[in-house]
Amino acid sequence: MNLKKNEIYETTVTGMTTEGSGVGRVNDTAVFISNSAIGDVLKTRIIKTSKNYAIGRTEEIIIPSPDRVNPDCKYFVQCGGCTYRHISYDAELQIKYQRVEDAVTRIGGFRNLKINPIVSCENRCFYRNKAQLPFGKDNHSNTIMGFYAYHSHRIIDSDCCLLQPPVFSEISRIVRDWAVRNNVSVYDEILHRGLLRHLYIRIAEVTGEIMVCLVINGKSVPYKNELIDRLKYVNGFKSLQLNVNTQKTNVILGKECIKLYGSDYITDILCGLKFNISPLSFYQVNRTQAEKLYSIAENYAKLSNDDILLDLYCGTGTIGLSMAKKVKKLIGVEIIPQAIENAKKNAALNGIDNAEFICADAAKATVKLEKQGIKPDVVILDPPRKGCDKSLIETVVKMTPDKVVYVSCDSATMARDISIFNELGYKPTEITPVDMFPATPHVETVVLMSRPLTEHEKYGEYFMNRSVSDIMSEYSEQHDEWH
């Protein structure tokens, strides 16, 4: 390492890390520079050095990358919410595609695997249906609310975020105003004192129903009727809830919810089905892209009405339920009890009676199912970022499904896992990346893998029902040159 802290060096950005920092090289050392773009030639000040790399900050852009655009948000750079608002959407999609390709070739070891073009999101703005805004105090003890700065708990005071629908700004202004006017105390993370922790908002995009939830360090809020009366002016306002979180923790939500007004849940429509969303239930934050993701998974699954479909890591059951009417039986497995309760309710809400949901670790549940002789025709896996246990992959393979559809939110673990499937005979044949979270570095993928062909399928009926001498004599009758 021959780079010095605080020194300024010139470099060209040639790549991106998985977290969205630009990568340049100075004297053969990789320098990571956030908010830079591939093709930038810039002067960078080294702010941190370590054994194998350095972190730099842009001092001056000498030649801007052709991908650069003017950021459309005034909080970009300070705010940790968006990574890519300074490059075009095409450039962002290219980076995401490249990331999937790199993982598949470098980690997975696949050379000629078909990677389809990335499915883009029509709206790069306003696509989130959920927001969690922390409350805090500025240096003058004024109440503020907004978003955390990058990798920190410093609050950037803002009531407007381009990733969220504009009505969320209206709600945050009302809640902030209510808190300030009534001098409602704000939670201090260090002292573990004060009431208001987060403002949590959800919208059901199709029905327009809105749920507002105050996460508090306590069990009640003062002047609640004033807040309710003001929120009633917001179009779609359906529910006001308190979420009790009295723990000294970074986890946003506590386990208990108290309804102050309206309904216990809001209802959205996804893939033609109704889903009731309560404060604690998981729901895809980009509904439109979730529908696209699920339809790719369904296309890959090619289900028929006598199939058994196993949906592993099913959450509240949305993927499996969206396909349940096309199969004989759906089995969903998920580790979180509330999610399984939601999944069961969601099935009932939609008149789906061929679904069974099991609350268990996916690896353990599959061993049990396999021992019971359950033979799914299609297995869908949608694991969290760390991917699947190897033992789970082995059990899935033992069940010999015709198809495995792997939905992933982390390309690196996806590449690792599909290469294990590949070693066990399940060849990946196609991958489709989907952009679920524009302006952030995340990219989802759907992978299709198929069962290894049996001898029978490989050589067909023709060869299986004939002896070798029959085949040779039939062949020689048709091909004179054999004589």
If one asks whether residue 160 binds ligand SAH (CB under 6 A), the answer comes out as no
The answer to whether 194 touches 201, Cβ cutoff 8 Å, is no
Q: By CB under 6 A, which span of 97-105, 118-126, 312-320, 475-483 interacts with ligand SAH? A: 312-320
The answer to whether 199 touches 214, Cβ cutoff 8 Å, is yes
At 454, give phi and psi (nearest 5°): -75, 165
Residue type, 10: E
- Whole-angstrom Cα distance, residue 446 to residue 432? 5
Q: How far is the CB of 161 from ligand SAH (least distance, A)?
A: 23
End-to-end CA distance of the chain: 74
Helix (H, G, I), strand (E, B) or coil at 482: helix
Q: By CB under 6 A, which span of 56-64, 126-134, 234-242, 332-340 interacts with ligand SAH? A: 332-340
Q: Site for ligand SAH (CB under 6 A): which residue of 318, 322, 350, 408? A: 318
If one asks whether residue 435 binds ligand SAH (CB under 6 A), the answer comes out as no
Q: Which helix (H) or strand (E) holds 293?
A: helix 287-301
Q: By CB under 6 A, which span of 17-25, 76-84, 311-319, 434-442 interacts with ligand SAH? A: 311-319
If one asks whether residue 357 binds ligand SAH (CB under 6 A), the answer comes out as no
Q: How far is the CB of 333 from ligand SAH (least distance, A)?
A: 6
If one asks whether residue 358 binds ligand SAH (CB under 6 A), the answer comes out as no
Q: Which ranges of 350-467 would DSSP assign to H, the alpha helix? A: 362-371, 390-398, 411-423, 455-464
Closest CA to 34 of 99, 78, 92: 78
If one asks whether residue 319 binds ligand SAH (CB under 6 A), the answer comes out as yes
If one asks whether residue 174 binds ligand SAH (CB under 6 A), the answer comes out as no
Place of tokens 């696949």: 110
If one asks whether residue 384 binds ligand SAH (CB under 6 A), the answer comes out as yes
If one asks whether residue 379 binds ligand SAH (CB under 6 A), the answer comes out as no
- Whole-angstrom Cα distance, residue 288 to residue 128? 10
| 409 is annotated as an active-site residue | yes
Q: Residue 481: which residues within 8 A CB-CB, separation 6 or more?
A: none
Q: Site for ligand SAH (CB under 6 A): which residue of 60, 361, 402, 423? A: 361
Residue 306's CB: how many other CB atoms inside 10 A? Answer: 9
If one asks whether residue 444 binds ligand SAH (CB under 6 A), the answer comes out as no
Q: Site for ligand SAH (CB under 6 A): which residue of 313, 357, 421, 437? A: 313
Q: By CB under 6 A, which span of 56-64, 313-321, 345-353, 466-474 interacts with ligand SAH? A: 313-321
Catalytic residues: 409
User: Which parts of this chain interact with ligand SAH (CB under 6 A)?
Assistant: 282, 284, 313-315, 318-319, 333-336, 339, 361-362, 382, 384
